[in-house]
Amino acid sequence: MKCRVCRGPAVIDVRRHNAAFCPDHFVTHCREQVRRAITDHHMIDPEHRIVVAVSGGKDSLALWDLLVGLDYQPDGVYLGLGIGEYSNDSLDHARAYATDRGVTLHEVDLAAEQGFTIPAAAAATHRAPCGACGLSKRHLLNRFALEHHYDTVATGHNLDDEAAVLLGNVLRWETEYLARQHPVLPATTGFARRIKPLVRLGERETAAYCVIRGIDYQVDECPMAAGNRHLHYKDVLNRLEQRSPGSKAAFFHGFLDHAHDRFADHPDGDDTGAHLGRCTECGAPTTTDVCAFCRLRHRATSRP
């Protein structure tokens, strides 16, 4: 196997590009994919202050490193979810990266600031933990960005993640979610801009990128992931990809090119925030008196 660029020994093949790369040219390939995603979707304004949502896993650390490699100057924010040893180890990896590379990592701790953990929220709501976790992450990352004057929150969602979410949304024709499934969600009243610069890289590539760049990441899966239906969708898509390389990229990027606008025109797709009221407890935009996050906090912190 030879590198497509220099014909030296290749360390990884990327079948959907029908190419293999040596370590240096693989790093260049990853940067080029991120640069293209940023350009194609007008993700970043040079004036923007960016904060990367860092979980300590391969995707978010690769994203942070790739943005720095492309001469952006993002800071990172780690959100402690209180998932036992898994959260402690993840924080160690995030801190180690920040210290090694001399970049700024902020830390937000759910238990210290809000009085509950994701396992406690899951127990209190009798629901799968990922719902409470996703809601908490969106709410607290947005709040952190607004309070600290970051214009943009960058997240490490990769091509595999986005294709799996898209499959789930299409299977149920979730038109409102399809309207919002895009690598850029513009800033609206009460919401910072959100971007997903890794949508042109698969998770196998972000893992290889971290190994080649010497980034030590959290390799364990979240112990609360079981039951997350996106894992099944990923499995199905991986089997398709195996038989027909390029299927995931064609599915997701084809949606963005040919179909997303049709759903964005959906009346429910209005996301200007102008029609929303304010949570009477935290001030976040909401359609109800008390926002979903504050309601979750009440349930998770009230004694049975």
Angle among Cα 79, 115, 133 to the nearest 5 degrees reads 45
**Is 198 near Zn ion (CB under 5 A)?**
no
- Span near ligand SF4 by CB under 6 A; candidates 93-101, 203-211, 220-228, 264-272: 220-228
Is 54 a residue that touches ligand SF4 (CB under 6 A)?
no
Q: Contact 162/20 with Cβ under 8 angstroms?
A: no
Q: Residue 106 corresponds to which amino acid?
A: H
Q: Which of 10, 133, 154, 166 binds ligand SF4 (CB under 6 A)?
A: 133
Binding partner selected for residue 225 from Zn ion, ligand SF4, none, CB under the kind-specific 5 to 8 Å limit: ligand SF4
Q: Which of 28, 24, 141, 130 lies closest to 79 in space, CA to CA?
A: 141
- When asked if residue 129 is in the footprint of ligand SF4 (CB under 6 A), the reply is yes
Q: Which of 131, 186 has the CB closer to ligand SF4?
A: 131
Number of residues that bind ligand SF4 (CB under 6 A): 9
222 binds ligand SF4 (CB under 6 A): yes
Residue whose entry in the numeric block shows the structure tokens 């209005």: 270
Helix (H, G, I), strand (E, B) or coil at 123: helix
Taking the complex as a whole, how short is the minimal distance between the CB of residue 221 and ligand SF4, in angstroms?
8
DSSP state of 188: B
Distance CA 3, CA 20 (A): 5
Residue 121 binding ligand SF4, by CB under 6 A = no
For ligand SF4, which is the closer residue by CB, 226 or 274?
226
Minimum separation from the CB atom of position 47 to Zn ion (A): 30
Residue 124 near Zn ion by CB under 5 A: no
Rule CB under 6 A: say whether 224 interacts with ligand SF4. Answer: yes
Distance, in Å, from the CA atom of 167 to the CA atom of 173, rounded to the nearest integer, reads 9
Q: Which of Zn ion, ligand SF4, none has residue 282 at its interface (CB below 5 to 8 Å by kind)?
A: Zn ion
283 is an interface residue for ligand SF4 by CB under 6 A: no
Residue 279 in contact with Zn ion, rule: CB under 5 A: yes
What is the rounded distance in angstroms from the CA atom of residue 264 to the CA atom of residue 22? Answer: 41
The two most distant CA atoms of the chain are separated, in Å, by 65
Taken in order 65, 67, 71, 75, the sign of the CA dihedral is negative
- 154 binds Zn ion per the rule CB under 5 A: no
User: Which of 212, 225, 256, 264 lies at the binding interface for ligand SF4 (CB under 6 A)?
Assistant: 225
Strand partners, 50: 152
- Hey, how many other C-beta atoms are within 10 angstroms of the C-beta on 178? 22
Chosen from ligand SF4, Zn ion, none, partner binding at 291 (C-beta under 5 to 8 Å by type): Zn ion
**Of 76, 59, 94, nearest to 145 (Cα)?**
76
Residues in contact with ligand SF4 by CB under 6 A are 118, 129-130, 133-134, 222, 224-225, 228
